[in-house]
Amino acid sequence: MRVFRFSLFYFVWTIVLLATEVCIGGYVHDDLIRPFGGDVFIVMLIYCFIKSFFDTPVLPTAGCVLLFAFAVEISQYFHLVYVLGWGGSAIAKAILGTSFSFIDLIMYTLGISAVIVAEHLKTSLRNF
CA-to-CA dists, residue 120 to 51, 62, 113, 125, 126, angstroms? 15, 12, 11, 9, 10
Q: What is the mean pLDDT of each run of 10 residues along the chain (128 residues)?
A: 90 98 94 92 98 98 98 96 94 91 97 98 90
**pLDDT score for 2:** 73
pTM (two decimals): 0.92
Q: What distance in Å separates the CA atoms of residue 67 and residue 46, rounded to the nearest whole number? A: 12
What's the pLDDT at 94?
86
Closest CA to 112 of 74, 68, 56: 68
Could you tell me the residue ranges of all domains in the chain?
A: 8-126
